[in-house]
Amino acid sequence: MPYKINVPYSEKDTAKAVGAFWDNASKTWYIPDHKHFNDFLKWINIKDISIILKAPYYLGLNKRECWKCSKETTVISLYSDNFYKYNDDDDTDEPAFHPVDSKSFVYSLAFIEPDVANFIHKEFQFYKLGYSKMADSTYWANHCEHCKVIQGDFHLHEEPDGAFCPIDEESCKKLTLIEMPFTYDLGLDGAFSYSSNEDEIFELAKKVKWENFKENK
């Protein structure tokens, strides 16, 4: 799917010459799907964006026991089976976006493009920017629906059998992947992990469209 880029008016002819298109309805320039991100790096905010999820991407949904109040709370995480990582720390290559041969949840998100971040927070108000003492950083994090305490991403994503680190088929089946209702790709800054059961997650988790999820919520 296409990716929005911020092209100043003075550079519109340059952007058009290398293949950018104008979306009149959304009032934005974008990279069409058949073009590569690396031809448009000057218009991508690489200071804040290190990962681009190709649409369609998903919102993972699960439950966990709050470490503070011990009550069951809902937790969410963005998930993709097709994404790119910006590489600027390899001396052998020019800084560029490269496809990642993996399916993965993304986490420790310091930045999510605002239209998607606001959309998610509106629907799941417990998912918001929060400070983690363990990570000593602020990122988009789940908070307990009851006692409001942060549910750290390490426990959700990196501990075996965490909400987004399933270890067997039954754990995978507890997950729901909700296809997000966005036609543009999503830029963000965070981390991802290579999982030994990445294919099982995508195959065994329940997958639903956003509109169907909303109807049954």
Least confident of 59-63, 144-148, 165-169: 165-169
Same domain, 90 and 191: yes
Helices vs. strands in the chain: H and E counts, helices first = 6, 15
Residues 6+ apart with CB under 8 A from 55: 1, 180, 182, 183, 184, 185, 186
Q: Is the pLDDT of residue 164 over 90?
A: yes
Name the helix (H) or strand (E) containing 207: strand 206-209
User: How many domains, the chain?
Assistant: 2
Task: Scan for tokens 């999510």, then name that residue.
Answer: 112
Per-residue model confidence (pLDDT) at position 40: 96
Residues 146 and 97 in one domain: yes
Q: Residue 43's pLDDT is what? A: 97
- Residues 139 and 179 reside in one and the same domain: yes
Q: What is the pLDDT of residues 70-88, one digit of tens each?
A: 999 999 999 999 999 998 7
Q: How far apart are CA 126 and CA 146, in angstroms?
A: 10
| Same domain as 200, residue 114 | yes
Instruction: Provide φ and ψ at 204, rounded to 5°.
Output: -100, -25
The string of pLDDT tens digits covering residues 100-109 is 988 999 999 9
Same-domain status, 25 and 115: no
Q: Do residues 190 and 212 both lie within one domain?
A: yes
* Parent domain of 68: 48-216
Same domain for 170 and 202, yes or no, is: yes
For residues 125 and 133, what is the distance between their CA atoms, to the nearest angstrom? 21
pLDDT of 196 > 70? The answer is: no
CB 74 within 8 A of CB 127: no
Cα distance between residue 51 and residue 189, in whole Å: 6
Residue 163 backbone zone (phi > 0: left; psi -120 to 50: alpha; other: beta): alpha
Q: Do 198 and 177 form a contact (C-beta atoms < 8 A)?
A: no
**How much is the pLDDT for 90?**
59
CA distances from 210 to 38, 67, 158, 180, 198 (A): 31, 29, 27, 6, 22
Q: What percent of the chain has pLDDT over 90?
A: 87
81 & 149 share domain: yes
51 confidence band (pLDDT: 50, 70, 90): very high
- Residue 97 reports pLDDT greater than 90: yes
28/56 same-domain check: no
| Model pLDDT, residue 99 | 94
pLDDT digits (tens, 9 = 90+) for 129-141: 999 988 899 999 9
Residue 92 has pLDDT above 70, yes or no: no
Tell me what pLDDT residue 197 has: 74
**What type of residue sits at position 160?**
P
- Average pLDDT, stretch 122-151? 96
Query: What pLDDT is recorded for position 94?
Result: 81
Return the amino acid letter for 84. Y
pTM (predicted TM-score): 0.94
Q: Which residues contact 185 (CB under 8 A, 6 or more apart)?
A: 1, 2, 3, 4, 52, 53, 54, 55, 57
pLDDT at residue 194 above 90?
no
Question: Is there a single domain that holds both residue 2 and residue 66?
Answer: no
The stretch 140-160 carries a mean pLDDT of 96
Clarify whether residues 145 and 196 are in a common domain. Answer: yes
State whether 30 and 114 are in the same domain: no
